[in-house]
Amino acid sequence: MVVGGGIAGMQAASDLAESGFFVYLITSDDSLGGRMARLDKTFPTNECSMCLLGPRMTGSLNESNINLLTRAKLTQLEGEAGNFTAVVERQPRYVDEARCTGCGLCADTCPIEVKDEFNGELSKRKAVYKQFPQAVPNKYAIDIENCIRCMKCTRVCSAGAIDHQQQSEILNINIGAVILAPGFESFNAQQLGEYGLGYYSNVVSNIQFERMLSSTGPTGGHIYRPSDGAVPKQVAFIQCVGSRDCRKGYGNEYCSAVCCMASVKEAIIIKEHKPETEIVIFYLDMRAFGKNFDRYVNRAVGQGIKLQRSLISSVKEDPITGNLSLSYCDKGQVLTEEFDMVVLGAGVQPPKSAGELAKAAGIELNQFGFAKTSYSNPVETTRAGVFAAGGFIGPRDIPETVVSGSAAAAAAAELLSAARGVSSREIKYPEEKILSSEQARVGVFVCCCGSNIAGVVDVSEVVKYASGLPGVAGAWKFTYSCSQESLQKLKEIIHEFHLNRIVVAACSIRTHLPLFRNALREAGLNQYYLEMANIRDQCSWVHRDYPEEATAKAKDLVAMAVGKVRHHRPLYLKPVQVVQKALVVGGGIAGITAALSLAEQDYQVYLIERQESLGGMLNQLYLPQDGIKPRELIEKKIHAVKSHPNIRVYKNAELINVSGRIGDFQSKIKVEKTTIELKHGVVVIAAGCREGNIKEYMYGEDKRVITRLEMEEFLSSGNNSLVKTVVFIQCAGSRQEGREYCSRTCCGQTVRQALALKELNEDVNIYVLYRDMRTYGFMESEYRRAREKGVIFVNYQPDSPPDLQGGYNGINIKVKDPSSRSNLELTADLVVLASPAVPAEGLDKLAGLLKIPVNEDGFLVETHAKLAPLDVPTPGVFICGSAHSPQNINEVIAQAKGAAARAAGVLSKSHLLAGGPVAKVNQEKCAACVTCVRLCPYGVPYIGSKNVAEISPVQCQGCGTCAGACPNKAITLEHYRSEQLIEKVRAMFNMEVARSE
């Protein structure tokens, strides 16, 4: 069971369903989506959040092994890991999900308007409502508290879906494991009156602002000032609102980790809309620690967005203009600037229901109210069999959320591996009729969708028209095509009239295609013998004022669908065998964790490590993190690997060649002098990172200057009696030209090292010279502790870095301290450099072998920065750990487990289904021009042994880029073959000619 329908919950549920488990996905909301549904775009790629989310939500709804329960809560969990009974309480929705068609008539007539919480209360909705236009399931719901029971909705709903009498339900569900993913919620910035949210109209929170930016939001994607609708010319962002505040009642002590980037993103979007807007972001530390974040921030600065280091004390409103003025301190001056709008970078906190949920699930929460999980297994809670994912573990962005969703799925799968496939639903369909030689007999079903379509389009006329189209054997009218009743009828008609091609003229393929395809399969037809015409979303709904044109258009759309469907071919998904073994490259913590997870899930694993011993970088880390010593952790894990019957380790080994495809790879491995061949179904790359070279700060010239790794060694010796003053210099070799990224691990490590020094000797003077302290998330508490212990943090600017001079008494360091407007002169016995994390030696070569792209910084590039952080374009290959980007140990472990879950999705099946709407090469026509090889975004086509292009149907993603480009028209994209498209277009003109005659 997965609790929470945000991106974390959906990821966990789909990974589990994919690898053969049946999943109950329960969420307290009316729709899937969670916080992501509220965002406009996502950093650092500026992709539309809803576009990413939409397919995910429908995917989760349509997956036969996921049972989605909305408005549901876990109230009790009895039993033990592997055998729980979950008590779930389902709140009534007052709308029957099985009947509601999402037409919205009820909302149109409902007289009650209330503030729309989803839009940050910037707009109104009705008492019967849908949370957002793309909600999944696409069903309405009644907010009973505001409903006056006027029954107008009941009268207007011809589907009879409204039921004010619905009662809450208690379900007892037998399950093996639970994943909690209730996310986080935004800090309510209204608690901080000094910023004026809720008092001054032109102050909005970041989440409200996201809604304003969103094209489905209250302002339709335009930025208007709430007070007067004017377009703002000067916008200020205030950071750390309700975060990094140690006082009770004023927010939270930790850093919310996403708000810096969220504000930079929002600022960039404003600039995209209106480049002339002046934007200032008031911040303390710009926490751009993630992959490609620094570049994103630099881009923002390049666009003229001003970053001003200074938090804001209060916002003042000019009561006449509604403008807002902010005072801030810069270089010892207090300046005041006026803005038309202020956005508050509000932080995040555990959901209100966290306590209740924790109690129900029997788990503990940490000091901040998030799920308490262990550092060495970040998805494991304090109760066996109960796992956590996403924002519920702590503040994090979407990719990390997705990773933890996968990781939790892996953890649950490890526990339940014996039960795999036991309760997953395998649907049996009747044998398919072979129809390829038969003439097309098209059946057209035109939907009224209550009055949604019929109210505008003359459905009877469309039916009449359709039955006269060439190849059509009959046309029928349905009030609601998607009702169970109609689907049954559809199957009967198919049999009765010997139909072999079907057109359903109704709504969107995005929501309904799977439903009708399924009906065809149940009727013994190939599921690709279906075409839908969208005469609702694309016609009746959007041409309400032109019923005649709409009817004409509906006819055309039906004709087009008929034209195309006549040329449909049956497509078969062919099973290809999967070698249920994995190859893991790299024996660091990432590789080891992934290998162990897969082995626990009962798959054979080959683990290859090019060095003599396993462990990677962790062998060089000494200081405990969250109470866990990296060396001890890695030793324990190495031992587990060695004793695991499912894992075979090759040391001193290197991958030299890979061929084959997902499910069936063949690799050559050089182990010392011999070469071994291995067969496996998936590859996990965990090649890690290393410490980069440093040219600055006298490193290599003076022995008293050491790197952070050398400092770990120094501390492990426990002997520091001679050092009185230690100076740490951050970002040495990171965040500069040529290495324009943050090494992410150093700020936290420095703080730990400083604390360890203080522990050994309280009197040692410690200075940390930094650019931004990036102790994001819960690490903020350690940063605070270091300050409490008297560590002095000095903010240096990259244009005036610390100046070092070797001296007899120590190293003399000059640095400007902006906080006292003075130059500090320090004499250090030891200087510790925050050395950069760079990709492992030869990572590019390894990447080349597997056709994985690398980025400017040399790290591997994932398929999708947000939603597929562990996949790469090459199917069957997954990545994790520091080869992806620099990360801390717990994050690496989560990624490794996540990669294991992704890999298990492939390995769990004995066969993969290949084919369907994918590209196919006509070898006769191919001239081996390599256009397709060059253009395919996934590197699928290759020139095979016959010197023509080959495309593996298993790997092809079906985008059609190659088909569109092939100069010899040798490639066809099934289901979207050129002739099909052309016939579709022709159908609309042929008939026009016919009509005018």
Partner 1 sequence: MKYSYYPGCSLCSTASEYNLSTEAICSKLDIQLIEIPDWNCCGATSAHSASAYLAVALPLRNLILAEAMGLDMVVPCAACYHWQRVAHNEVINKTPVGQRANEDLAKIMGRGYHGTLKTKHIMEVLLQDQVLELLPRKLIKPLNKIKLAAYYGCLMLRPADVVAFDNAEQPNSIDRLAQALGAETVRWSAKVDCCGGSFTLAESGVVQKLTADIVSAAKRGGAEAIVTACPLCQANLDSRQKENENQMPVFYITELVGVALGMPEARKWFKKHIVNPVPMLEKYNLL
Partner 2 sequence: MEQVSLAEDLAKETGQKTNTCFSCMKCSGGCPISFASDLKTHEVIRLVNLNQLDRLLNCKTIWLCAFCKTCKQRCPNDIDASLVMDWLKSKALELGVTPAMPNIPIMYQTFLRSVEKLGRVYEAGWIGTYKIKTKTYTKDFKLGLKMLGKRKIKLVPGRIKNYQHIRKIFASARLGMKCRKEIK
Partner 3 sequence: MSDFKPKIVAFCCYYCAYAAADVAGSLRVQYAPEVRLVEIPCSGRIDPVVILKTFEEGADGVYVAGCLEGDCHFLKGNIRARQRVNYVQKILGELGIDPERLAMYNLSGAQGGRFAQIANEFTEKIKKLGPSPLRGR
Ligand X SMILES: Cc1cc2nc3c(=O)[nH]c(=O)nc-3n(C[C@H](O)[C@H](O)[C@H](O)COP(=O)(O)OP(=O)(O)OC[C@H]3O[C@@H](n4cnc5c(N)ncnc54)[C@H](O)[C@@H]3O)c2cc1C
Interacting residue ranges for partner 1, rule: CB under 8 A = 192-194, 196, 199-200, 314-320
- Among residues 947, 708, 943, 924, the alpha carbon closest in space to that of 835 is found at 708
Minimum Å gap between C-beta 986 and partner 3 is 5
Q: Which does 709 bind (CB under 5 to 8 A by kind): partner 3, partner 2, ligand X, none?
A: ligand X
Site for ligand X (CB under 6 A): which residue of 19, 42, 486, 931?
Answer: 42
Segment lying near ligand X (by CB under 6 A), choices 424-432, 532-540, 609-617, 714-722: 609-617
Question: Per rule CB under 6 A, is residue 265 in the interface with ligand X?
Answer: yes
Segment lying near ligand X (by CB under 6 A), choices 565-573, 803-811, 886-894, 939-947: 886-894
Q: Which does 553 bind (CB under 5 to 8 A by kind): ligand X, ligand SF4, partner 3, none?
A: partner 3
Angle, to 10 degrees, between the axis of helix 746-760 and the axis of helix 708-716? Answer: 30
- Count residues binding ligand SF4 (CB under 6 A): 82
Minimum Å gap between C-beta 802 and ligand X is 20
Segment lying near partner 2 (by CB under 8 A), choices 312-320, 403-411, 943-951, 953-961: 312-320
Q: Is residue 652 classed exposed, middle or buried when 0-12, 13-18 and 19+ CB atoms within 10 A define those classes? A: middle
Toward partner 3, which CB reaches closer, 457 or 709?
457
Q: Is residue 88 classed as helix, strand or coil in its secondary structure?
A: strand
Q: Which does 396 bind (CB under 5 to 8 A by kind): ligand SF4, partner 2, ligand X, none?
A: ligand X
Toward partner 2, which CB reaches closer, 314 or 761?
314
Site for partner 2 (CB under 8 A): which residue of 174, 313, 659, 978?
Answer: 313
Question: Per rule CB under 6 A, is residue 477 in the interface with ligand X?
Answer: no
- Cα 357 vs. chain centroid, distance in angstroms? 24
Q: Return d(Cα 41, Cα 43) in angstroms, integer.
A: 7
Q: What DSSP line would sit under 675-722, residue for residue?
A: EEEEEESEEEE---EEEPP--STTTTT-TTEEEHHHHHHHHHTT--TT
Minimum Å gap between C-beta 262 and ligand SF4 is 8
Question: Which residues make Cβ contacts (< 8 Å) with residue 319, sequence separation at least 6?
Answer: none
Please give the DSSP secondary-structure letter assigned to residue 282: E
Minimum Å gap between C-beta 49 and partner 2 is 30
Q: Return d(Cα 129, Cα 108) in angstroms, integer.
A: 9
Cβ–Cβ under 8 Å, residues 391 and 251:
no
Q: Which does 795 bind (CB under 5 to 8 A by kind): partner 2, partner 1, ligand SF4, none?
A: partner 2
Please give the DSSP secondary-structure letter assigned to residue 537: I
Strand segments, DSSP code E, in 284-413 are 306-309, 315-317, 324-330, 333-339, 341-346, 348-349, 386-388
Question: Which residues make Cβ contacts (< 8 Å) with residue 845, sequence separation at least 6?
Answer: none
Minimum Å gap between C-beta 316 and partner 1 is 4
- Count residues binding ligand X (CB under 6 A): 80
Please give the DSSP secondary-structure letter assigned to residue 498: T
Q: What DSSP line would sit under 868-900, residue for residue?
A: BTTB-SSTTEEE-GGGTS---HHHHHHHHHHHH
Give residues 733-762 in contact with ligand X (rule: CB under 6 A). Answer: 745, 749
Question: Per rule CB under 6 A, is residue 34 in the interface with ligand X?
Answer: yes
Q: Which does 34 bind (CB under 5 to 8 A by kind): partner 1, ligand X, ligand SF4, none?
A: ligand X
Question: Per rule CB under 6 A, is residue 242 in the interface with ligand X?
Answer: no
Q: Return d(Cα 904, Cα 913) in angstroms, integer.
A: 16
- Among residues 224, 204, 340, 323, the alpha carbon closest in space to that of 273 is found at 224
Minimum Å gap between C-beta 198 and partner 1 is 8
Cβ–Cβ under 8 Å, residues 835 and 709:
yes
Of all residues in the chain, what percent are helix, strand and coil, respectively (each to 5)? Answer: 30, 25, 45
Angle, to 10 degrees, between the axis of helix 49-62 and the axis of helix 7-18? Answer: 40
Binding marks (x or -) toward ligand X, 843..862, rule CB under 6 A? ---x----------------
Question: Per rule CB under 6 A, is residue 794 in the interface with ligand SF4?
Answer: no
Q: Is the peptide bond before 44 cis (omega within 30 degrees of 0)?
A: yes
Binding marks (x or -) toward partner 2, 854..883, rule CB under 8 A? ------------------------------
Q: Which does 89 bind (CB under 5 to 8 A by kind): partner 1, ligand X, partner 2, none?
A: none
Q: Return d(Cα 814, Cα 831) in angstroms, integer.
A: 13
Q: Which does 430 bind (CB under 5 to 8 A by kind): ligand SF4, partner 3, partner 2, none?
A: none
Question: Per rule CB under 6 A, is residue 861 in the interface with ligand SF4?
Answer: no
Segment lying near partner 2 (by CB under 8 A), choices 239-247, 447-455, 688-696, 965-973: 239-247
CA distances in angstroms from 166 to 92, 94, 156, 162, listed in the order given = 6, 5, 18, 9
The tokens 């819960």 sit on which residue?
Answer: 778
Toward partner 1, which CB reaches closer, 251 or 663?
251
Give residues 187-216 in contact with ligand SF4 (rule: CB under 6 A). Answer: none
Cα dihedral 23/24/28/29 (nearest 10):
70
Question: Per rule CB under 8 A, is residue 724 in the interface with partner 2?
Answer: no
Question: Which residues make Cβ contacts (< 8 Å) with residue 633, sequence separation at least 6?
Answer: 376, 589, 618, 889
Toward partner 1, which CB reaches closer, 316 or 670?
316
Taking phi over 0 as left and psi of -120 to 50 as alpha, with beta for the rest, 596 belongs to alpha
Toward partner 1, which CB reaches closer, 200 or 793?
200
Q: Return d(Cα 731, Cα 783) in angstroms, integer.
A: 16
Question: Per rule CB under 8 A, is residue 797 in the interface with partner 2?
Answer: no
Q: Which amino acid is at 779?
A: M
Please give the DSSP secondary-structure letter assigned to residue 744: S
Question: Which residues make Cβ contacts (< 8 Å) with residue 853, sequence separation at least 6?
Answer: 847, 860, 861, 872, 873
Q: What is the CA radius of gyration of the chain?
A: 30
Give residues 40-69 in contact with partner 2 (rule: CB under 8 A). Answer: none
Question: Per rule CB under 6 A, is residue 938 in the interface with ligand SF4?
Answer: yes
Q: Which does 355 bind (CB under 5 to 8 A by kind): partner 1, partner 3, partner 2, none?
A: none
Give residues 186-205 in contact with partner 2 (rule: CB under 8 A). Answer: 194
Toward partner 1, which CB reaches closer, 282 or 476?
282
Question: Per rule CB under 6 A, is residue 941 in the interface with ligand X?
Answer: no
Question: Per rule CB under 6 A, is residue 307 in the interface with ligand X?
Answer: no
Give residues 248-277 in contact with ligand SF4 (rule: CB under 6 A). Answer: 255-257, 259-260
Site for partner 2 (CB under 8 A): which residue of 165, 703, 821, 924?
Answer: 821
Q: Which amino acid is at 114?
A: V
Segment lying near ligand X (by CB under 6 A), choices 430-438, 612-620, 715-723, 910-918: 612-620
Toward partner 1, which CB reaches closer, 189 or 307?
189
Minimum Å gap between C-beta 564 and partner 3 is 9
Question: Per rule CB under 6 A, is residue 300 in the interface with ligand X?
Answer: no
Toward partner 1, which CB reaches closer, 200 or 650?
200
Question: Per rule CB under 8 A, is residue 800 in the interface with partner 2?
Answer: no
Q: Return d(Cα 505, Cα 559) in angstroms, integer.
A: 10
Largest distance between two CA atoms of the chain: 103
Binding footprint of partner 3 on the chain (CB under 8 A): 40, 45-51, 54-55, 102, 104, 133-134, 214-216, 220-221, 508-511, 534, 536-539, 541-546, 549-550, 552-553, 556-557, 560, 873, 917, 935, 937, 957-961, 963-965, 969, 973, 976, 978, 981-982, 984-986, 988-989, 992-993
- Applying CB under 8 A, the residues found at the interface with partner 2 are 194, 240, 244-247, 250-251, 284, 309-314, 326-329, 332, 334, 773, 783-784, 787-788, 790, 792-793, 795, 817-822, 824
